[in-house]
Structure 1
Amino acid sequence: MATSTPEIVPDSEHKGLVGQLPQPLRGLALLARFDRPIGWWLLFWPGAWAVALAGGAIARWPLILWILVGSIAMRGAGCVYNDIVDRDLDAQVARTRSRPIPSGQVSLRLAWGWLILLCLIGLVVLVQLHGLAIGVALASLAPVAAYPFMKRITWWPQAWLGLVFSWAALVGWSEVTGSLSLPIWLLYAGSIFWVVGYDTIYALQDREDDALIGVRSSALRMGAHVRGGTALCYALALLCWSGAMWSVRPDPVAVLALAPMAVHLIWQVATLRPDDGAGALHRFRSNRFAGLLLFLACLVVGSA
């Protein structure tokens, strides 16, 4: 009896405006994942949450836009750097061998030049900040540079990604308040657990290839308990976020603002099928909407 092969969703897709670009511009756009905006949305939302929870969503709306620009540029730079470091591993994985560097669309030298340009755009955003926020933003460079190596030395690279992808929360809060007080640490911790949860779902697509080439991930570590592990991460995220809301506004109504986010995360876990790569990708991408739900909750609590 013939057995069906699970569908492989390629990491780089030639769709939309990106697909219409000429080479080498298309290769550079794919290298920075401009065809996959979910990444910069996930990098952006923690910063927007922090600004909203600090009460600056209206008065400091230009800051939110700068965080968005910085998220697009720095997520692109992070992807370029990651692909430079992982070019040999990417060539061995079905989903990633079509990336611009292993496929030969973009040379290593051009990739380094593109990385520098994206970092310069990030520098433009950096100079819009003040004092403490600048220091906080610069402190992210070391963990960002270390991230691509984590999958080689730990079963929990998703936890390190959580540290990196949640960093904008620290920047946004410190820019609005001039401090790093308890609410932001709780918001940041919740974001880390959220990232571990959704990136574990994302890593389900690569479990077989990762196991073959020796790459580690939380999806492999959790094994048959991946749904329970993801549920635990999301529960801890909600607990931390509840603490952040309560710290800003000690009122049960403030915590209730998290209800839509909680329902969405429950849906993700309840409908997750670890052997369904396309379904896992769909649930991972739905976290763009989840980020909006939490932003609205922070807006309500921070503006009250």
Structure 2
Amino acid sequence: MPDVRPTDILPDARPDNWVDRYAPDRMRPWLKLGRFDRPAGIWLLMLPGWQGAALAASMAGRWPDLLLLAKIFVGAALMRAAGCAYNDIVDRDLDAKVARTAGRPVASGRISVRQAWTFVVACSLAAALILFTLPPLAIGLGIASLLLVAAYPFMKRITWWPQAWLGLTFNWGVLLGFAAAAGQLETPAYLLYAAGLFWTLGYDTIYAVQDMEDDALAGIRSSARRLGRLAPRAVLGFYVLAFTLVLACAFAARLGPLFLPLAAGYGLHLSRQAARLDLDDPAGALDLFRSNAVAGLILFAALAAGQFGQGLWGGGGL
């Protein structure tokens, strides 16, 4: 097993992450540039796409297409890597001022800006090859998402709510996944997208708790800084809105009753996060943030299960 020095491991990566344990030394900076040592973001970008595909499939009374789910997974991993590298290029000067991000490959000088741009282009082109296998509407949505991605790194400079913009960006996959499965967009997809926006606003506020002091010194804006001691209550409020919109989506889609117990598990997971958030425990905030991969999987399962029993509730679903 390769030798791993504690100083090589970035603060928000797990000590036993596969990149630092197994990847060759020369590959580690590139894998860290794409955040492959911190895979939670891949899940959080991928899961809205899976949820959109599951919603469309359940409305048609079938299981989600496994090939489509695989395409969404690979595409999300590639675009998340490209987006993180682009973010690091734009934020390299700010990252150098924050303890958690100072060791990132571009901010630390291990990868040059020119090399990082090459990485962005390569990942984007690979993702485009997958995108162009999808229906026309999904392709158009995928191209449109680039505007959201391009603007995101600048939001922390101009608004206290960059987490809301991240919600618009990360959950675009709901619309893309639904369109890829159904060939069109319908009201339930928009409701699920809105639910995802508030879900992301909640979990990324939790994530931002890690950097509140450093962000203040560097002049970086975030919802956690704006909310201060009210952040746990605000996160609960965001999650209540997310859960309410998920229920509205299920009602509009006429999902079957098997959706409900799994959806209750999703709501319970979110409420426990809000209850456990402690502004004086950054490490605990990171663990809560990571747990959202489980929350997203629960919602995906709930939406997939909604195909069963349609029509039992007054000629519709729920």
Question: Which residue of 48, 51, 54 maps to 1:49?
Answer: 51
The 3-state SS of whatever aligns with 1:122 is helix
TM-aligned CA deviation for residue 253 of structure 1? 5.9
**1:125 has 2:130 as partner:** yes
**Aligned residues of 1:44 and 1:168 also touching (Cα < 8 A):** yes
**Aligned residues of 2:277 and 2:288 also touching (Cα < 8 A):** yes
Question: Which residue of 108, 115, 122 maps to 1:110?
Answer: 115
Distance 1:172 1:250, change over 3 A: closer
Matched residues in 2 for 1:280 and 1:59: separation? 33
1:171-227 Cα shifts (integer Å, max 9, x gaps): 011111121111000000000000000000000000001111111000011111001
Matched residues in 1 for 2:306 and 2:118: separation? 43
The alignment of Structure 1 onto Structure 2 pairs a total of residues equal to 297
Structure 1: give runs of 5+ residues left out of the alignment. Answer: 1-8
TM-score, with length taken from structure 2: 0.89
- 2:277 corresponds in structure 1 to 272
Amino acid corresponding to residue 34 of structure 1 in structure 2: F
**Aligned residues of 1:54 and 1:176 also touching (Cα < 8 A):** yes
1:20-64 Cα shifts (integer Å, max 9, x gaps): 333431100001000011000000111111111111673521001
TM-score, with length taken from structure 1: 0.93
Structure 2: give runs of 5+ residues left out of the alignment. Answer: 1-9, 310-318
TM-aligned CA deviation for residue 252 of structure 1? 6.2
**1:284 has 2:289 as partner:** yes
Matched residues in 1 for 2:236 and 2:64: separation? 36
- 2:3 corresponds in structure 1 to none
**1:78 has 2:72 as partner:** no
**Aligned residues of 1:12 and 1:98 also touching (Cα < 8 A):** no
Matched residues in 1 for 2:64 and 2:215: separation? 46
RMSD (CA atoms): 1.8
1:154-173 to 2 correspondences below 5 Å: 154-173=159-178
Matched residues in 2 for 1:33 and 1:59: separation? 28
TM-aligned CA deviation for residue 303 of structure 1? 4.7
1:56-95 to 2 correspondences below 5 Å: 58=63, 60-95=65-100
Distance 1:47 1:141, change over 3 A: same
The 3-state SS of whatever aligns with 2:307 is helix
**1:186 has 2:191 as partner:** yes
- 2:211 corresponds in structure 1 to 206
* Identical counterparts, % of pairs: 48
The 3-state SS of whatever aligns with 1:36 is coil
Distance 1:148 1:59, change over 3 A: closer
Matched residues in 2 for 1:116 and 1:253: separation? 43
The 3-state SS of whatever aligns with 2:67 is helix
